[in-house]
Amino acid sequence: MTHSPSLLTSGDFNVSDANELYQVDRWSSGWFRVSGSGKMEVTPGQGLSAPLRDIIDELVEERGESLPLILRFPQVLAGRVQHLNEAFRAAIREYDYQGSYQGVFPIKVNQRRAVVETVAAAGYDYAHGLEAGSKAELALCLAQKMHPDALLSCNGFKDDGFIKLALWGRTLGKNVVITIEKFSELDRTLKQAKALGVRPAFGVRFKLHARGSGQWEESGGDQAKFGLNAYELLRVVERLREEDMLDTLVLLHTHIGSQITDIRRVKVAVREATQTYAGLIAAGAQLKYLNLGGGLAVDYDGSKTTFYASMNYTLAEYAADVVYTAQEVCRAREVPEPTIVTESGRAVTAHHAVLVMPVVDVTGPTRDREDAPEPAEDSHQVVTDLKEFLDNLTLRNYREMYNDAVDAKNTLHNLFDLGYVSLEDRARGEALFHAILKKVAKLVRGEKYVPDEFEDLQSILADQYICNFSLFQSLPDNWAIDALFPIVPVDRLNQRPTRQATLVDITCDSDGKIEKFIDLRDVKTTLPVHEPGDQPYYLGVFLAGAYQDVLGNAHNLFGKVSEAHVTVTGAGEYNIDLFVRGQKARRMIESMGYEEVMLRDSIEDQVDEALRAGHLTPVQEFELLEDYGEELLGYTYLEYEDGADVIEGAEERLRGNTVRVSEDIPPAPDDLATEAATAGADKTAQAGERDYLVR
């Protein structure tokens, strides 16, 4: 898919063109926009806006923080919770639904403290609950301040410890519901409940025949990992009846997958789930909640289709269809209309986080080669042929010349492998071939129809923008499942992008690259970007708040990136409420089983040997140990500093220092400590190294 010629090649370029080029209005759901000055802005409420570039510049230039970083906007997160609940309230009023709605946030989507606490606070008045899928998540959820009626759903496989903790939660006054995922969990829970003297509240998960759509379609259906079949469902009812505890079965839970792109699949699943609810009521159960699970999608590409990165419905349509379908079945079956529960996580969290990554270098096949080279007098004929193709290429014959050039290039490589072409001629031939490609690309750019063989031309000629980040740590879904995220320059959007690029990270892994980008019709292979120039050039990855924080891995020991939590206070006004520095090298190394003391001791022993052998001077010894210690406590990502004379500084420090250098290096502070700043000051009092919190 090629970019619109009118946007990239002709006429004036303005912010409306940038908005169309990067599809901002289509995927942002109103939370971001392109400002009149060409900057990406966050817009968390009426009259509230803040340019991302201004926030970044304050952090980097004024506070001296390093990139990459994540910008978190709690107001956006709270707004997503509000919009979800209000959409269901509106649908309930419209259809005169006799039940209610309660949302549940599955914290597996993002367990970060700022996220969970913001969702809990924003959802308090809505009785919006939390879902835990492990003992650790349950321990975290139990500590949150929640509305007494808010559900605390315990999903996933459970052992005795998980069950006991959930039961204790009920004694704390929390509305904890233990979902039975397999039949054997029922008797285990009954046993623990009797031992503790706590009356449980049960949910039961049912495997729907219906399936979702998109990438997680296979996670539902008869072969789903979790849930009971119809026979087992009725066995639960009978078992609880035997114990005279049928009233403890309060919830039916179903789930057909994440990121459901097609609203028709949603309605089919809701109908089957509600029929199952009605059947359990007929069997004597006294259910209160119908939990329809997650699946509310995010329109990552803005296409409003059933494409895996999109959705063909709005939030309002989703709520209306869920409420109407459930009501229709309940009225037909003459059963009470239950409290509808959904476990939306992706749709709640995706919009609130933006990954900011600086472009640190640019490479590409034709990057530094403007003029095609002339063949030498003794150049091979294939090189001369390529020069003739270039000189004679026109709009009339470009297709023929292109195909001839491809054949010549293949011949060039074959002859080089056999030793008949020199390295110099290979370099000339490749340069001429790329010059031909550039000329063909320029000719076809204005054509209404582009032949199939030229579809990959743009990606072949694209620059590679090297970005200071790790794909595996910050955007693992892009690497693992080809997830698409909107990527936009944070400023200069009133200027026409003149380059096409793919993005590569700084890991030593060939998979560390982004070569697929959002598009209305398909998937683009390149991203329109500006020439970086003298000023820092930043790209923002949007809709990155769901799953990426928790799925990121430590490939190459790149750790979690820094975070800035930002509240917008007016038009162009904001506060940086919290800054959490990213993981340090020492912490990443220790996570692999090493100890800092062992590392330092080993380096000091090697330094002593180098001194005795005359390979190091005392000044160099000091500098080496100091640099090693600083890097252990440094950010794992690239950091660029203006060059001060390090040797000279080391000599000055050494003159007044009679203590052995290694002993002068302070011990590593405790990982649990933090450092806090005084009001308005950037200077912090050191209390630890792990996650520095700067308020």
What are the pLDDT digits (tens) for 232-262? 999 999 999 999 999 999 999 999 889 999 9
The active-site residue, picked from 141, 330, 467, 508, is 508
Residue 208 shares a structural domain with residue 67: no
Task: Using pLDDT thresholds of 50, 70 and 90, give the confidence band for residue 395.
Answer: confident
Q: How far apart are CA 204 and CA 250, in angstroms?
A: 9
Contacts of residue 15, defined as CB under 8 A and 6 or more positions apart, other chains included, come to: 34, 35, 36, 38, 493, 494
Q: What are the φ/ψ torsions at residue 261 (nearest 5 degrees)?
A: -85, -20
Helix axes 113-122, 74-95, angle to 10 degrees: 40
Decide if 143 is inside a domain: yes
Residue 142 shares a structural domain with residue 60: no
Residue 309 shares a structural domain with residue 391: no
Maximal CA-CA distance, the chain:
99
Q: How far apart are CA 153 and CA 254, in angstroms?
A: 13
| pLDDT given at position 675 | 33
What are the pLDDT digits (tens) for 45-82? 999 999 999 999 999 999 999 999 999 999 999 999 99
Determine how many CB atoms are found less than 10 A away from the CB of residue 180.
26
Residue 322 shares a structural domain with residue 250: yes
Answer yes or no: is pLDDT of 661 > 70: no
Task: Using pLDDT thresholds of 50, 70 and 90, give the confidence band for residue 213.
Answer: low
Burial (CB count <10 Å: 0-12, 13-18, 19+), residue 651? middle
Answer yes or no: is pLDDT of 32 > 70: yes
Tokens of residue 288, six digits: 């209160």
Determine how many CB atoms are found less than 10 A away from the CB of residue 564.
23
Task: Using pLDDT thresholds of 50, 70 and 90, give the confidence band for residue 640.
Answer: confident
Decide if 12 is inside a domain: no
| pLDDT given at position 264 | 96
Instruction: Please say whether the beta carbons of 691 and 580 come within 8 A.
Output: yes
For the segment 157-186, the average pLDDT, to the nearest whole number, is 96
If one counts the domains in the chain, the total is: 4
Answer yes or no: is pLDDT of 669 > 90: no
Q: How far apart are CA 413 and CA 592, in angstroms?
A: 44
Among candidates 499, 369, 342, which has minimal Cα distance to 434?
369
Decide if 191 is inside a domain: yes
Residue 189 shares a structural domain with residue 292: yes
Contacts of residue 281, defined as CB under 8 A and 6 or more positions apart, other chains included, come to: 287, 333, 335, 336
Q: How far apart are CA 88 and CA 554, in angstroms?
A: 40
Place of tokens 């993005």: 503
Task: Using pLDDT thresholds of 50, 70 and 90, give the confidence band for residue 328.
Answer: very high
Task: Using pLDDT thresholds of 50, 70 and 90, give the confidence band for residue 659.
Answer: very low
Share of the chain above pLDDT 90, in %: 79
Q: How far apart are CA 27 and CA 49, in angstroms?
A: 18
The last residue of a domain, from among 425, 457, 489: 457
Residue 385 shares a structural domain with residue 325: no
Residue 53 shares a structural domain with residue 68: yes
For the segment 114-135, the average pLDDT, to the nearest whole number, is 97
The last residue of a domain, from among 329, 349, 369: 349
Element (H, E) at 606: helix 596-612
Give 169-231 as a DSSP string. HHHTT-EEEEEESSTHHHHHHHHHHHHHT----EEEEB--S----STTGGGSSTT-SS-B-HH
Residue 572 shares a structural domain with residue 617: no
| 508 is an active site residue | yes
Give 645-667 as a DSSP string. -HHHHHHHHHHT--S-HHHHSPP
Instruction: Please say whether the beta carbons of 5 and 496 come within 8 A.
Output: no
| pLDDT given at position 680 | 34
8-state DSSP, 556 = G
Q: Length of the chain in residues, anyone?
A: 695
Residue 571 shares a structural domain with residue 429: no
Q: How far apart are CA 64 and CA 683, in angstroms?
A: 10
Q: How far apart are CA 286 and CA 582, in angstroms?
A: 49
Decide if 7 is inside a domain: no
| pLDDT given at position 444 | 81
Q: How far apart are CA 647 and CA 619, in angstroms?
A: 7
Instruction: Please say whether the beta carbons of 282 and 246 come within 8 A.
Output: no
Decide if 145 is inside a domain: yes
Residue 337 shares a structural domain with residue 386: no
Choice between 545 and 652, residue whose per-residue pLDDT is larger: 545
Decide if 206 is inside a domain: yes
| pLDDT given at position 214 | 56
Sign (positive or negative) of CA dihedral 623, 627, 628, 629: positive
Dihedral, CA of residue 376, residue 382, residue 386 and residue 389, to nearest 10 = 120
Answer yes or no: is pLDDT of 645 > 50: no
What are the pLDDT digits (tens) for 150-171? 999 999 999 999 999 999 999 9
For 470-516, what is the HEC assignment?
CHHHHCHHHHHHCCCCCEEECCCCCCCCCEEEEEECCCCCCCCEECC
Q: What are the φ/ψ torsions at residue 270 (nearest 5 degrees)?
A: -65, -40
The whole-model pTM stands at: 0.87
Q: Which domain holds residue 441?
A: 381-457
8-state DSSP, 125 = G
Decide if 686 is inside a domain: no
Residue 134 shares a structural domain with residue 272: yes
Determine how many CB atoms are found less than 10 A away from the CB of residue 507.
18
Amino acid at 316: A
* Of 367-376, 420-429, 522-531, the least confident: 367-376
What are the pLDDT digits (tens) for 516-574? 999 988 899 999 999 998 899 999 999 999 999 999 999 999 999 999 999 999 999 99
Task: Using pLDDT thresholds of 50, 70 and 90, give the confidence band for residue 386.
Answer: very high
Decide if 214 is inside a domain: yes
Q: Which span out of 85-94, 216-225, 403-412 was modeled with the highest average pLDDT? A: 85-94
For the segment 36-51, the average pLDDT, to the nearest whole number, is 96
| pLDDT given at position 686 | 32
- Ranges of beta strands (E only) in 542-593 are 562-570, 573-580
Answer yes or no: is pLDDT of 91 > 50: yes
Among candidates 231, 234, 271, 236, which has minimal Cα distance to 254?
271
| pLDDT given at position 368 | 59
What are the pLDDT digits (tens) for 274-283? 999 999 999 9
Sign (positive or negative) of CA dihedral 630, 636, 642, 643: positive
Give 326-360 as a DSSP string. HHHHHHHHT-PPPEEEE---HHHHGGGEEEEEEEE
Give 151-186 as a DSSP string. EEEE-S---HHHHHHHHHHHHTT-EEEEEESSTHHH
The half-sphere exposure of 280 on its side-chain side, counting CA atoms within 13 A, is 36
For the segment 8-20, the average pLDDT, to the nearest whole number, is 84
Share of the chain above pLDDT 70, in %: 87
The last residue of a domain, from among 393, 422, 457: 457
Task: Using pLDDT thresholds of 50, 70 and 90, give the confidence band for residue 317.
Answer: very high
Angle at CA of residue 418, ends 413 and 419, nearest 5°: 95
Among candidates 124, 256, 240, which has minimal Cα distance to 193?
240
Alpha carbon 545 to its chain centroid, in Å, reads 5
Residue 576 shares a structural domain with residue 593: no
Q: How far apart are CA 214 and CA 195, in angstroms?
A: 45
